[in-house]
Amino acid sequence: MLNEIIRIAEEAGKKILDFYNSAIATYYKEDGSPVTKVDWVISELIIDKIAKISNYPIVSEEIYDFNVPRKHYENFWLVDPLDGTKDFLAKNGQFTVNIALIENGNPILGVVNVPVSGNIYYASKNRGAFKNGIGIYNYRNSAEIIGTDSCFHSTEKTQDFFRRHNITNIKKYGSAIKLCKIAEGEVDIYPRLNGTKEWDTAAGHIILNEAGGEIIDLVTNEEMIYDKESVKNNFFIAKRKGLIL
């Protein structure tokens, strides 16, 4: 199953690049976040491809209806067809295709494709995490803690977190790339102190878990879970395991 999802993510990434240098009409959702024709086209592509290989329900950002009660499933797919629409529109290359499989509230398979760089990260439960076919793990053991922050969604609370913990080396990335950078050991910690949704994090979450990292929900103080009453995530801290501030 993982290989098929990798191929779907790669195909979606190539399709996104067909639009990358074109003028794209931009619309805005109720929460003020941008959405483009590309988001919808890629969502349809991924849903169609997954439906041909799996009978599990698919929850995709672009088809989710916030106005009806959420349905709950033992197994389902979580899809963000274009994570980092603002990065896509800024043409900074910091956007991804995210596909994850959830089982009993936990991600068990995930693929994050970065179309512009060609990097593809993936993992499945208890089988390790990989980047472009090579195993990755966060082996960082340095006195200096390196943080990561969003290109477009940083907040004063996030910046205050870094100041309070004397973290001065902060690398900015878009989309799920931040989680993948912890997974491959380039950074140590990512505090997310403003809104995200389950499809933003699920694929990167399993990759991070399999690479020696964790995402701690700041409400429960436990590993973040999925298939909640709301698709909105609580604020969280993603980090390599064992990191003590």
Where residue 88 sits, what CATH number does that domain have? 3.30.540.10
Average pLDDT of span 228-234: 96
Tell me: do 18 and 132 sit in the same domain. yes
Please write the tens of the pLDDT for every residue from 6-16: 999 999 999 99
Look at residues 75, 108, 136 and tell me which one is the last residue of a structural domain.
136
Given this model, what pLDDT does residue 123 score?
A: 98
Q: Indicate if 198 and 114 belong to the same structural domain.
A: no
Quick one: 130 and 60 in the same domain?
yes
pLDDT tens digit string along 160-202? Answer: 999 999 999 999 999 999 999 999 999 999 999 999 999 999 9
- Is residue 245 included in any domain, yes or no? no
Distance separating alpha carbons of residues 154 and 65, to the nearest angstrom: 27
Cross-sheet strand order for the sheet of 169-173:
169-173, 146-150, 189-192, 236-240, 213-217
Residue 183 lies in a domain: yes
Same domain, 161 and 208: yes
Same-domain status, 119 and 196: no
For residue 131, the enclosing domain spans 2-136
In whole numbers, what is the pLDDT of the chain averaged over residues?
95
The answer on 132 and 11 residing in a single domain is yes
Q: Is residue 94 domain-shared with residue 154, that is, in the same domain?
A: no
Q: Mark which of 75, 103, 136 sits at the end of a domain.
A: 136
Q: Assess whether 17 and 125 both reside in one domain.
A: yes
Q: State which of 90, 110, 136 marks the end of a domain.
A: 136
Q: What is the mean pLDDT of residues 74-85?
A: 96
> Does one domain contain both 44 and 80?
yes
Residues 137 and 185: beta-carbon distance below 8 Å:
yes
Give me the mean pLDDT over the 102-119 stretch: 98
- Beta-carbon contacts of 213 under 8 Å, excluding residues fewer than 6 positions away, are 138, 179, 182, 183, 238, 239, 240, 241
Q: Is there a single domain that holds both residue 62 and residue 107?
A: yes
Entry pTM: 0.96
Same domain, 112 and 198: no
Q: Are residues 118 and 6 in the same domain?
A: yes
Say what the pLDDT of residue 27 is: 77
214 pLDDT more than 80:
yes
- Quick one: average pLDDT of 33-49? 92
* pLDDT score for 23: 74
- The count of domains in the chain is 2
Q: For 112-137, what is each residue's pLDDT tens digit?
A: 999 999 999 999 999 999 999 999 99
